[in-house]
Structure 1
Amino acid sequence: MATTAQPLVPPNDLASVTKTLDLLTPRWSVWVLMTLSSQPLRYAEIKPKLPWLADGQLHPRLRHLTSAGVVERTEYAPRHVTYGLTRRGTELLPVLAQIASWGDTHLEKQLVTSKATGALEPERIPPAQNIDDTIVLISPRHATPILMTLMSRGRASAKTLAAEAMPGYGLNTVYKPLDRLVADGLVTAVGKGDFQLSASGQALAPVFKAITNWATRPPAETDPLRRRGSAPSRTRSGPWATTPARLPAPAVPAAPPPAPALATTAPPHGPAWKPGDLFSHQIPARPITPTGGPRR
């Protein structure tokens, strides 16, 4: 039977979430935002905090975030330029905190041996990596519309999801993004051909709400960049504390010099990152996949 119900997700809400994810999707953009969370910095001050990024990777992130209106470039002299968060960028910090909280709770963590007790415990992940890994799961094309449709409906068939989350596409097109969401632990198959959110998927509701509230707060911002596609998956092994996917952490080439403490004063719309939040945990020296992508 063809569905005649109107979509339950307001188009403006969906557009707000997808545009904000487009802003954050280029990998390492979140790390740059968090590095600038306390005060404006010169390029030479940013670079040591993100030592695994080459000049050819850091400059594009700064340009992207500046074009999006969340970072401001201030030139005092030809050789004295600083980068700092705009008001919109500062308002984005509580949204990043919400995403980081979801990632810390629901993303997989390898179990490691505690040096203090010798017992297995979940590895400690930097907040910026929790955010990056979460965005990898929900930013691929059609993933957010499917998740938000299921969030509104509670349960839906593939036919309904194709009609509401992917209008203009054929029924067969919905199965690939659905299969990915099921493999990532955000959606589960129920009954005969129906789907619903898993507990991890349902817990994304505050994340989408925080993103929507930020994106719809005037002045409205638009992202000039297009959505980036997802990358091939990798196979995980070993003991894991939870199931949804996570990207490998960057390998730090050398211990960076001591970084200035991040601000402890709360910004106007939410808590600031506390001292050491960006690199609050030792980053494991695991290899980086060239194009990113989740591990399942």
Structure 2
Amino acid sequence: MATTGLPESISSDMSRVTESLQMLAPRWNVWVLMTLAEMPLRYREIKSALPWLPDGQLHPKLGKLADAGLVERTEFEPQTVLYGLSVRGRELLPVLGVIAAWGSKHLDKETVLDPATGHRVPKAVPRAQDIEDTIALIAPRQATPILWALRIRGASSAKALAATAMPERHLTNVYQPLNRLAQDFLVTKDRQGYAELTAAGRDLAPVYQALSAWAAGRPLTQATSHPVWTPNPAQALGGSAMWATAQPRTPAVPTTPARATWKPGDLFSHTTPARPSGVVPTGGRTR
């Protein structure tokens, strides 16, 4: 477990969340899980639903998801093998719904012309794409520790963030992941170099609440009591002077995605993850 300047219970919780994100992060993993959401399928049925994924990628991906405990392989006879979600995989579906809700609200979307109104509107994208793009923003190394540290501390200098999120590493190691989070509009920095969460970053509360509960094997009904991503982390963490109060957020309602047959048009229209729209955060330090 990585060393952080956070309390041990928070650091352990964050490590479980980070490991969960790393398990989901490889490209197409979410698409496979969403394809199996409704019922177990034969290999050829999965392949038919994900026609762009070659056998050389699909078969080992199913194996790794099975090794991770998210997918079960059931062999009835040599020619009849079904792949379905395990209990843990099914428990993950509501969490994916929360992640999809954040992506639908915050990620940039290509616009298309609505023939009915003549106005350009955001193009609908598959839920799996919203989920995968969201995970791509928060799964990179040190991204989640920095976001959690900012949630706890409020506006902070790079030095303070490094001491909290990665005290075992040199100060300069905080700049690259911090700059990336700023480019992705999850963090904003002022002229004095202080960083804080944007509105989109604060809205990650239900995502981290749900991931934390699932990773710990707790029901999602307990997710909103998370000590860091609660409306008032200062109070939940004992009121220490270093903790800053954040704006309250209402968690998204978990929903279970229905089975989908993915079409070529559902493929990513971009080679890099979509980013949240740039927004000006409210409150905090003066700019």
- TM-score class normalised by the smaller sequence: 0.7 to 0.9
Cα displacement (A) at 1:190: 2.9
Cα displacement (A) at 1:7: 2.0
Q: Is the 1:41–1:84 contact (alpha carbons within 8 Å) kept by the matching residues of 2?
A: yes
* SS class of match (2:109): coil
In proportion to residue count, which structure has more helix?
2
Residues 1:285 and 1:190: Cα distance change in structure 2 (over 3 Å): closer
Residues 1:136 and 1:271: Cα distance change in structure 2 (over 3 Å): closer
Cα displacement (A) at 1:118: 2.1
Instruction: Work out the CA distance in 2 between the residues paired with 1:108 and 1:200.
Output: 12
* SS class of match (1:72): strand
Residues 1:165 and 1:19: Cα distance change in structure 2 (over 3 Å): same
Which consecutive residues of structure 2, in runs of 5 or more, have no partner in the other structure?
219-252, 276-287
The alignment covers a number of residue pairs equal to 237
Q: Indicate the residue corresponding to 1:89 in structure 2.
A: 89
Q: Indicate the residue corresponding to 2:246 in structure 1.
A: none
Instruction: Work out the CA distance in 2 between the residues paired with 1:74 and 1:173.
Output: 45
Q: Indicate the residue corresponding to 1:148 in structure 2.
A: 148
Find the partner of 1:283 among 245, 266, 271.
266
Instruction: Work out the CA distance in 2 between the residues paired with 1:157 and 1:206.
Output: 26
Q: Indicate the residue corresponding to 2:179 in structure 1.
A: 179
Residues 1:128 and 1:208: Cα distance change in structure 2 (over 3 Å): same
Cα displacement (A) at 1:279: 4.8
Counterparts of 1:124-273 in structure 2, within 5 Å, are 124-190=124-190, 192-217=192-217, 271-273=255-257
Residues 1:155 and 1:285: Cα distance change in structure 2 (over 3 Å): closer
Q: Is the 1:70–1:88 contact (alpha carbons within 8 Å) kept by the matching residues of 2?
A: yes
Q: Is the 2:38–2:259 contact (alpha carbons within 8 Å) kept by the matching residues of 1?
A: no
Instruction: Work out the CA distance in 2 between the residues paired with 1:38 and 1:164.
Output: 42
Counterparts of 1:52-131 in structure 2, within 5 Å, are 52-131=52-131
Cα displacement (A) at 1:117: 2.3
Which consecutive residues of structure 1, in runs of 5 or more, have no partner in the other structure?
219-268
Q: Indicate the residue corresponding to 1:236 in structure 2.
A: none
Cα displacement (A) at 1:37: 0.7
Residues 1:31 and 1:188: Cα distance change in structure 2 (over 3 Å): same
Instruction: Work out the CA distance in 2 between the residues paired with 1:35 and 1:69.
Output: 16
List structure 1 segments (4+ residues) > 6 angstroms apart after TM superposition: none
Cα displacement (A) at 1:189: 0.7
Instruction: Work out the CA distance in 2 between the residues paired with 1:128 and 1:295.
Output: 13
- One-letter amino acid matched to 1:134: T
Q: Indicate the residue corresponding to 2:6 in structure 1.
A: 7
Q: Is the 1:112–1:121 contact (alpha carbons within 8 Å) kept by the matching residues of 2?
A: yes
Instruction: Work out the CA distance in 2 between the residues paired with 1:10 and 1:198.
Output: 22
* SS class of match (1:188): strand
The farther-off stretch of 184-193 and 93-102 is 184-193
Cα displacement (A) at 1:115: 2.7
Instruction: Work out the CA distance in 1 between the residues paired with 2:132 and 2:45.
Output: 22
- In the superposition, the TM-score normalised over structure 2's length comes to 0.77
Residues 1:171 and 1:285: Cα distance change in structure 2 (over 3 Å): closer
Cα displacement (A) at 1:284: 6.3
Instruction: Work out the CA distance in 2 between the residues paired with 1:52 and 1:71.
Output: 21
* SS class of match (2:196): strand
Residues 212-255 of structure 1 show CA distances to partners (whole Å, capped at 9, x for unaligned) of: 0000017xxxxxxxxxxxxxxxxxxxxxxxxxxxxxxxxxxxxx
Instruction: Work out the CA distance in 1 between the residues paired with 2:156 and 2:148.
Output: 12
Instruction: Work out the CA distance in 2 between the residues paired with 1:273 and 1:35.
Output: 9
Residues 1:14 and 1:63: Cα distance change in structure 2 (over 3 Å): same
- In the superposition, the TM-score normalised over structure 1's length comes to 0.75
Q: Is the 1:126–1:280 contact (alpha carbons within 8 Å) kept by the matching residues of 2?
A: no
**Residue 11 of structure 2 corresponds to residue 28 of structure 1:** no
Over aligned residues, Cα RMSD in angstroms?
2.4
- One-letter amino acid matched to 2:85: L
Q: Is the 1:146–1:161 contact (alpha carbons within 8 Å) kept by the matching residues of 2?
A: yes
